[in-house]
Amino acid sequence: MLSQKNIDIIKSTAPILETHGVAITTYFYKTMFEAHPELLNIFNHANQSQGRQQTALANTVYAAAKYIDQLEVLLPAVKQIAHKHRSLAIKPEHYPIVGEYLLKAIKGVLGDAATDEVIGAWEEAYHVIAQVFINVEKEMYEEAEQQKNGWKDFKEFYIEKKVEESAVITSFYLKAKDGTPAPSYLPGQYITIRTAIPGEEFLVNRQYSLSQAPGSDKLRISVKREADRDPQGKVSNFLHNQLKEGDTLEVSAPAGDFYLEKGPQPVALIAGGVGVTPMMAMLGSIAENEPDRKTVFIQAARNKEGHAFGIEAAEKISQLSDGKLYVAYEEKKNESDVCDVTGYISKDFLQEVIDSNSICYICGPVPFMRAVMRHLTELGFTEQNVKYEFFGPAIALQS
């Protein structure tokens, strides 16, 4: 239990952390990775180079300072992060390492402002917050292991089949090497794959959404080849270009707090680019379990070449008594390309096609999600009726 004195000290540092948070977390990652390079490949290098990981952690540290006396306010964010930690096999022994380098970063960036009293208060606060994570994650590890066909940490799967879904997205069907069926999961959740890549000293981890409804004897992930950005996607290119059917990967049990909720309310699934992957699991689940549920499926792609799952999505929609499918292309390469929207999805379009009582699920690139969120907010959708998933560290969608 934190003393009132230390609570007051922590809360007094919140404005400083809001200003210097990214500098602190940048310092933190640099020094921690220098001392513990074995932790580097747990993280996505592109997110590190783009600063998303640093920004996400800075936001978390700032929120912890602001609500240190109301930690229950942080519980939804804690659970979201804890899902990712469990999927990556983060364990209690990692927390002292993080704490050591986070305190060093606060001291290194703030200098004289980080007095012994301030550092002492943050050390005590960190132990309290870390224990919250450890307790939540312990329950998640037990749940993953105890569920039917579940397991602890990682398990070997092999690639049964590779299927090209578009010019940039390929699906990988994964089956357990021990012959056991795939575990159940909630449509929208993800797994972590762990693999060795030539030239990398340590195993590399990446998280990918499960892209088909639960209930199969195999797991399906659908991976976009990240070849048009710097740095390129190290793992996605390795999966596309080098792994073949029969090759083995280590896989975590499914995790994640973004998933389809059953119920009578209409649902709108709004996907941009590779953000379609969790939506395919949701759409498949609706087709199998709730075929009378009013459903709108909106898929945005750069162009026809980048449009994945077109036939599969149409088949699933055809199984619904009240389902509608809409496709948006940012550009048409040929006049013969058929879509419902050319350019960006507008507020007027969303108002026209989505029932105002719908629960909306959104996944895609950050600019896409930010625009859709703005439109839905302006149309009167509440926070409770809009759910979204980040591929990577969470950042603010609205200011």
33 is in an annotated binding site: no
Q: Are 89 and 252 in contact (CB under 8 A)?
A: yes
- Judged by DSSP in three states, 266 sits in coil
| Residue-level pLDDT at 41 | 73
300: β partners: 272, 328
Q: Give me the residue label for tokens 């400083």.
A: 16
392 is in an annotated binding site: yes
Residue 335, C-beta contacts closer than 8 angstroms, at least 6 positions apart: none
Residue 322, C-beta contacts closer than 8 angstroms, at least 6 positions apart: 292, 293, 294, 295
Strands 219-224 and 295-301 come out as unpaired
60 against 277, higher pLDDT: 277
Of the candidates 185, 357, 325, 206, which has an alpha carbon nearest to the alpha carbon of residue 258? 185
The percentage of residues in the chain with a pLDDT greater than 70, rounded to a whole number, is 94
69's tokens: 């006396």
Q: For residue 395, is pLDDT > 50?
A: no
Classify each residue of 187-212 as buried b or exposed e, where b means 16 or more C-beta atoms within 10 Å of its C-beta.
bbbbbbbbbebeeeeeebbbbbbbbb
| Residue-level pLDDT at 308 | 96
| Residue-level pLDDT at 399 | 40
In the predicted model, what is the mean pLDDT of the chain? Answer: 91
Angle, vertex CA 145, rays to CA 139 and CA 150, nearest 5: 140
| Residue of 27, 29, 62, 95 with catalytic role | 95
Element (DSSP H or E) covering residue 283: helix 276-289
Lowest mean pLDDT among 43-52, 322-331, 358-367: 43-52
Q: Give me the residue label for tokens 């020094």.
A: 31
Over residues 75-88, the pLDDT tens digits come to: 888 898 899 999 99
Q: For residue 45, is pLDDT > 70?
A: no
296 is in an annotated binding site: no
Domain ranges within the chain, ordered by starting residue: 4-146, 154-252, 267-389
Does 137 qualify as catalytic in the annotation? yes
43 against 10, higher pLDDT: 10
150 is in an annotated binding site: no
- Is residue 50 very low, low, confident or very high in pLDDT (cuts 50, 70, 90)? low
Q: For residue 43, is pLDDT > 90?
A: no
Angle, vertex CA 270, rays to CA 265 and CA 275, nearest 5: 130
| Residue-level pLDDT at 313 | 98
- Is residue 35 very low, low, confident or very high in pLDDT (cuts 50, 70, 90)? very high
Asked if domains 4-146 and 267-389 share a fold, the reply is no
120 is in an annotated binding site: no
197 secondary structure, DSSP code: -
47 against 386, higher pLDDT: 386
| Residue of 137, 165, 330, 389 with catalytic role | 137
254 secondary structure, DSSP code: P
Q: How far apart are CA 202 and CA 168, in angstroms?
A: 27
What's the distance, Cα to Cα, between the start and end of the chain in Å? 33
Q: For residue 393, is pLDDT > 90?
A: no
Inter-CA distances, 324 with 271, 293, 316, Å: 14, 11, 10
CATH 1.10.490.10 applies to domain 4-146: yes
Neighbours of 32 (CB within 10 A): 19
Look at domain 154-252 and name its CATH class.
mainly beta
Lowest mean pLDDT among 224-228, 249-253, 340-344: 224-228
> CATH number of the domain at 267-389, please?
3.40.50.80
393 is in an annotated binding site: yes
| Residue-level pLDDT at 202 | 84
Over residues 254-304, the pLDDT tens digits come to: 999 999 999 999 999 999 999 999 999 999 999 999 999 999 999 999 999
206 is in an annotated binding site: yes
| Residue-level pLDDT at 142 | 95
Over residues 157-206, the pLDDT tens digits come to: 999 999 999 999 999 999 999 999 999 999 999 999 999 998 888 888 99
Of the candidates 153, 80, 11, 140, which has an alpha carbon nearest to the alpha carbon of residue 387? 80
| Residue-level pLDDT at 176 | 96
234 against 135, higher pLDDT: 135
Over residues 6-17, the pLDDT tens digits come to: 999 999 999 988
Q: How far apart are CA 137 and CA 116, in angstroms?
A: 31
pTM: 0.91
Element (DSSP H or E) covering residue 330: none
154: β partners: 252
Q: How far apart are CA 219 and CA 169, in angstroms?
A: 16
Q: For residue 210, is pLDDT > 80?
A: yes
Q: Report, as an integer, the average pLDDT of 296-316.
A: 96
| Residue-level pLDDT at 311 | 96
266 is in an annotated binding site: no
